[in-house]
Copies of this chain bind each other. A is one copy, B any other.
Amino acid sequence: MPVDYVVNEAIKHVRHVPSAVEVPLSDALGRYLAEDVVAGFDVPGFNRSAVDGYAVRSADTFGASPTNPIMLRVKGFLAVGDDPGKFVIGPGEAVEISTGAALPPGADAVVMYEDTRRVGDYVEVLRAVPPMGNVSRRGEDVRAGELMYRRGTKLMPWDLGVLASMGISRVRVYNLRIAIVSTGNELLEVESLGGSPPPTGKVINSSRFVIEGMVRTLGGEPHYLGIVGDDEERIAEVVGDALRSFDAVITTGGVSVGKVDYTIRAIMRLKPEFLVHGVSIRPGRPNSVAVVNGKPVFMLSGFPVAALTGFDVLVRPIVLKMVNGEEEPRSVIRGVLTRRVATPVNTRSFVRVRVFRGSDGRVYVEPLALTGSGVLSTLVRGNGILVVPENREGFDEGDEVEVFLIRSVF
C-alpha cells in the first residue's frame, strides 16, 4: 500500500484527542499547544525609547541643525525601569533617557546622543526629530486581543519568551503519552546482560530505545511496557490494556512478510476499525498501522532501521495530526551521487548515505548498505538519508540528489 494513502486513511479513523495538561513555561519546550493563545494586553505596554539620548517634544526640535542648535533644559535622567511619571516634559524641556526606558509624559520623541551636545543643565539639539522618532511604540510587539498562537504550535525557545512577555507563566500543552511494547521471543533487555553479548539466537532489544527517542522528538512521553513473547493472546492483552491508558501504542517486532505474524493477528482480535498490513517502503515493508477505538496502533518492524523508517513515515504524520501539529523543516543538502542507486519501483526507498565535501569543494553523496534493515550502524557511519520516490527506480551515478542530513557533512 502506498504510504501517503495509508497515512491519509488512518488519519480519517483517528478520533481520539490527547488530553491537555498545564505546565510552567520552563517545562513547555518542544511540546504542542493545546489551546489558541490571545494577547491580554499590549507589549510593550508603554512607548519606550529605542535609543540612548534625550526625550523631547518633537515640535521643539523642528528647524534644529548643527549651525542652528536648539537649546533645551534637561530635567533629569530616566533609566530603564524608572517610573516615567517623575518628570513631565513641558515646552523647552528634555529628559536624558536610556534605551528601553518609558517615555515621560509630554515627550513624543527621542534625540540620539549623536545628534546632541550637552552643556551643563542644558542640551543642544543638532537635528530635528519627527513625532515618535526613535520611539518603540506601545503594542509594537504584541497587540491586545491579537491571536498570537494557534493550537498545535510546537513551542520553540523564542515562543516561551513571547508567551512570558504576554504575562503567561503556564500554558496548556498536549500530554501525549505513547506506549511502547516490544515483541519477540528472541529479545533480551540490555540491562539484564551486564555488558555481555547475548547468547546465540538472542538479540538485545535496541528498537525500544530508538522508538523512545523518536517519541521524545515529537514532544511525547514514551512509556515502555516491556517485552512480550511471540504470543498472539498475550500481545492482544497488553496492547488492549495500553489502549485504555495511552494515546497511541507502538509495537515492534512480530510483523513480517513471512508466515508468522503474531502482532497483526493480535491486533485483529481487538476489532480495529482500520488496519493496513504492510506499506510500500524499503526498508520497512512490514510496518503496519491500525486504529482501535479511535486510537492508532503502530506495528513496526523488529529491525531497528525498518522501525525507524516506519516511525518517520507512519507514526510522525499521524501523531502530529492528533495534536494539530505541522511537520518541521528538515535539513536538506544537494550533492552528487558517487555511484548508482537501484531501488524497486512503486516503493519509497530510504537509502542511508554518507555526505562529504570533496577536495574539489563539491558535495558528494555516497550510498551505504542498500540492504540490511538490521544494520543500525549505517546511521552512525552515514550522515544522511536519500529518499527515492515511488515513481523512480533509483538514481544514476553523477545525478544531483537531495538528501536529508541527520548529522553534519563530513
Contacts and interface: CB of A to CB of B under 8 A. Distances in A.
Interface of A: 25-26, 29, 40-46, 50, 52, 79-85, 98-102, 113, 136, 140-142, 148-149, 156-165, 167-169, 184-187, 190-191, 193, 195-214, 216-217, 224, 230, 256-260, 302-305, 308, 326-333, 371-372, 374-377, 379-380, 405-409
Contact of A212 (B44, B157, B329): B157
11 contacts: A25-B190, A44-B374, A81-B184, A81-B201, A113-B258, A140-B372, A149-B380, A162-B377, A326-B407, A329-B409, A332-B332
A164 B209 contact: yes
B207 A161 contact: yes
Given A167-B196, A200-B46, A26 B212 contact: yes
B260 A98 contact: yes
B195 A161 contact: no
Chain A contact residues, majority secondary structure: loop
A197 B42 contact: yes
Contact of A164 (B204, B230, B302): B204
A312 B169 CA distance: 25
Which among A187, A211, A213, A259 has the greatest number of chain B C-beta atoms within 10 A? Answer: A213
B197 A45 contact: yes
A405 B329 contact: yes
A368 B197 CA distance: 57
A157 B209 contact: yes
A305 B165 CA distance: 13
A299 to B, nearest CB: 15
A257 B53 CA distance: 11
B326 A408 contact: yes
Given A45-B197, A205-B164, A52 B157 contact: no
